[in-house]
Structure 1
Amino acid sequence: MAMAQTAGARGRPGQCGRCGRRWRCGRRTLVACVAWTVVWVLAAALLLRAHPGVLSERCTDEKSRRILAALCRDYQGGALAGDLCEDLCVAGRLQYRRCLYYERGKKVLQADWRGRPVILKSKEEAFSSFRPPGLMEDQAEDGGQGFPEAELLLLVAGEVKSALGLELAAGSLGPLWPGRRGARWRGQLASLWSLAQQEEFVLLSMLHGLSPHAPPLLGSCGHFYAVEYLAAGSPHHRALFPLDGASRGQAQAVSDMALSFLDLVRHFDNDFSHRLHLCDVKPENFAIRRDFTVVAIDVDMAFFEPKMREILEQNCTGDEDCNFFDCFSKCDLRVNKCGAQRVNSNLQVVCDKIFRHWFSSTLQSSAISFQLQRQLREAVQECADPG
């Protein structure tokens, strides 16, 4: 009995030791698993920030055709309207060709309209994703004919202010304003409201006819709007932009494009009532016309000065919290608030993201002397320097 008690007494410390070791091992394993998970979550977050399209929905012809078929059913049912609906849904003069991309709900399709290639865009897939204003529900019985124009003006102006940060008079609403009241007036109002909720459409409406560096709006059907088709740039092109059919050498083409980029920067900085900031500068967001005019074909991340200030003025603990894509501000640590003033410029970002590619290596052309090439590289380095 005494021996048993002694053995038991001796065994308990050993058991406790083994339990302790198992606990320490388990705890280390748990910590390692948590650390590994955190690393993967951070890596995924960084990847999504750098390449937000990696989890985008797959772009297919089958789904794109279904989207346009649903659009036409809504048109034939009177739910929506637009100056392109008849050509798309009845006459067959606007024909789908291919899906270009889907990204975070946005749908971008290529079509042929009366023999010319165009792009169809919408921020959302379905027309029902855009809710009409509550005031329209009160006008259901007469098809929206009794909707007061003054109230409509206020609603549209409010959407413009929300999207662009601008106060606009009714006379400057351009393509946002519907046509004469007719049998499809309610569908026109609903379509107007779906378009007014899309920042890029609102911005292009404001720039319509005012800028050679923005694609003109060609028309709309419901929540989809059409712009001219231009081949976008790509980092995979030797000169960033396709130069097929160019009658001049690459060096001269690059020179013409660079001058057009400089004109775009000057134009966006000075020619409107407020500076227009480009916060996502990359080759894919620009295209080149045959005359080498640069066109900003994706302006989802372009903001006039009032909206830019509103976006930048956020809470912060350091300057890195004040970076909104390509638009940077500074953190005031006294109040932990980002400054509303952008500290870099469109020109600096264009120099960094576009010109650096062209001029950081030697252009293979006898038309450009070695001395001039060196001066160009130095100028681009200085231009791109955030300091």
Structure 2
Amino acid sequence: MMYFFPRRTSWTYRSIRMKLQSLPQHFCKHCVRGYRVLLENEWMRYCFLFVCLCSVCYLLFGWIISRDSCFEWEIRTSLCNDYQNGLVAGSLCYNLCIEKSVPLSSCINRDDQFSMFRWSNILFKALNPDKHKLLEVSNPVWDGMSKADFISLLEKHFAQLLGNKDHSYLILRAFEFADFNRNNELTYAEARSMWELLQIQEFQILFIFQDNTVFPQLNSTCGSMFGYETAYQQILYNKNQSTYLESIFPNSYQWSLPDFPRRAHIALGLLEYIFATMETDNTKFYMCDFSPQNFGYNQYYEMKVTKFDGIVSETVLNKTMSTKTCEKDSDCVYGDICHSTCNLVTGKCNSIDEMYTPDFIKVCHVLQDYLLYDMPIKVKYLLSHLVADCIRMGNKMSTKTRETIAVDQNIIHDRLNEILWNELKYADNKFLTRPTKKPPVLI
């Protein structure tokens, strides 16, 4: 029995293998036979052809949609036609339309307003075709418009946006930015393009804060499309992840954070952001959707604001509040955290409350989760107490005057700056070293 068992097993294996090998052949024969029977009926023949045609059209249409999900072809065609007809201008137009060296094929996202593309380390945002048509209708720029008329138009626009204050520096920068060919003269295409850009809220914020390093730098424009440097990391952290790991370890979001010297350098950028929005071009700004997901950092661990749609000037915020009808205080909310009180006599919202929680206190809450994790023992006591004092300052706002709060804020801010900079002096700061070769810039 010992001698015949292996042979019997091998023959069984061979027979099974031969049957398996013949299965595709039998299957193909049945398919061909069924296909011939199907085509013998003329009606079935037409149905089969119709199904094949519909399948091909469906696949082709799906491929076109997935390939151009951000209206790349329509946006590029519209911009280049307007550029060739002298209707738009910008430092990007030549590269986009003539040299065709800037591709818009890498679609990142598309929302109700923008289509977003990425090329190298630049993020391009273009208005969707329907939004761009609405913008063109309300354009007050005309052909042959003089420099004085355009500056007057800019003065009115910035007065509505930032209040009736001196904005001469901002107006001069806007004119120089609009003069794309740098000849100190303004063509219709240049004036028209600049005006369209200034109607976009995200571009307004980027343009106003161009002198501040915590905001991304504008790279290039073409008509109403603009590009700016994108952050290496788009968010600082996400504390509210609904994962199994988070339910077991509530601080698991901190495990992937950079080491302390890099976080200290990012934290300095957060502190710089506070004073940038506190007074820029004689205007105060509010971030009405404050979140650690609104901030990121580049490859040199410099903090960058990554979301701008929640940032609004005090003038625009108060105007928006004054147009809101209300019955109670909870009706007077802008974004997530900007709120005021309801005037029951007029049924309108009052201006932003003077006791509004400063952004500095909100930043301290971010620092508590982001900076105080896994930090060196020698600075743990000082930093934890400073951040705790800052958070407690927010709880005592009702008992302090606005001037007292500003003084306390400056003291804590300066002390935090001093400790973090002193810590960075003795840390390994190779991540701060920039390469000698600069990235390509189109403007």
TM normalised by structure 2 equals 0.59
- The answer on 1:158 being equivalent to 2:160 is no
- Structure 1 counterpart of 2:73, one-letter code: R
User: Match for 1:347 among 340, 360, 371?
Assistant: 360
1:244-286 CA-to-partner distances (Å, cap 9, x unmatched) read: xx6xx2x333333223212211232145412221112223322
Matches within 5 A, 1:261-300: 261-270=270-279, 272-300=281-309
Secondary structure of 1:280's partner?
coil
User: Match for 2:342 among 324, 327, 331?
Assistant: 331
Matches within 5 A, 1:1-387: 62-64=68-70, 65-70=72-77, 71-96=79-104, 98-112=106-120, 117-125=121-129, 127-131=132-136, 136=141, 144=143, 146-165=144-163, 168-169=167-168, 170-174=171-175, 176-179=177-180, 185-208=187-210, 210-231=211-232, 232-233=234-235, 235-236=237-238, 249=259, 251-270=260-279, 272-313=281-322, 314-325=324-335, 326-333=337-344, 335-342=346-353, 343-352=356-365, 354-358=366-370, 363-365=373-375, 367=377, 375=385, 378-379=388-389, 381-382=391-392, 385=395
- Structure 2 counterpart of 1:62, one-letter code: D
Specify which structure has the bigger relative contact order, considering alpha-carbon pairs within 8 angstroms and separated by 6 or more residues: 2
- Residue range with higher mean Cα deviation, 213-222 or 181-190: 181-190
Aligned equivalents of 1:68 and 1:105: distance in 2? Answer: 13
1:4-30 CA-to-partner distances (Å, cap 9, x unmatched) read: xxxxxxxxxxxxxxxxxxxxxxxxxxx
Aligned equivalents of 1:374 and 1:282: distance in 2? Answer: 21
Structure 2 unaligned residues grouped into runs of 5+: 1-64, 240-251, 399-443
Q: Is the 8 A contact 2:91 2:180 kept in 1?
A: no
1:132-182 CA-to-partner distances (Å, cap 9, x unmatched) read: 567656xxxxxx2x2233222223333333444465334242555334679
1:48-103 CA-to-partner distances (Å, cap 9, x unmatched) read: xxxxxxxxxxx965133224432333323433221111112222332335222222
Aligned equivalents of 1:289 and 1:241: distance in 2? Answer: 19
Aligned equivalents of 1:241 and 1:277: distance in 2? Answer: 31
> Judging changes above 3 Å, is the alpha-carbon distance between structure 1 residues 285 and 124 closer, same or farther for their aligned structure 2 residues?
farther
Secondary structure of 2:136's partner?
coil
Aligned equivalents of 1:241 and 1:155: distance in 2? Answer: 51
Residue 47 of structure 1: aligned partner: none
> Judging changes above 3 Å, is the alpha-carbon distance between structure 1 residues 198 and 288 closer, same or farther for their aligned structure 2 residues?
same
Q: Is the 8 A contact 1:164 1:203 kept in 2?
A: no
* Structure exhibiting the larger radius of gyration computed from Cα positions: 2
Bigger helix share? 2
Aligned equivalents of 1:339 and 1:183: distance in 2? Answer: 44
Q: How much does 1:381 deviate?
A: 4.4
- Structure 2 counterpart of 1:322, one-letter code: C
Q: How much does 1:119 deviate?
A: 0.8
Aligned equivalents of 1:242 and 1:191: distance in 2? Answer: 43
Secondary structure of 1:129's partner?
helix
Structure 1 unaligned residues grouped into runs of 5+: 1-58, 138-143
TM normalised by structure 1 equals 0.67
1:112-148 CA-to-partner distances (Å, cap 9, x unmatched) read: 3xxxx101123444643322567656xxxxxx2x223
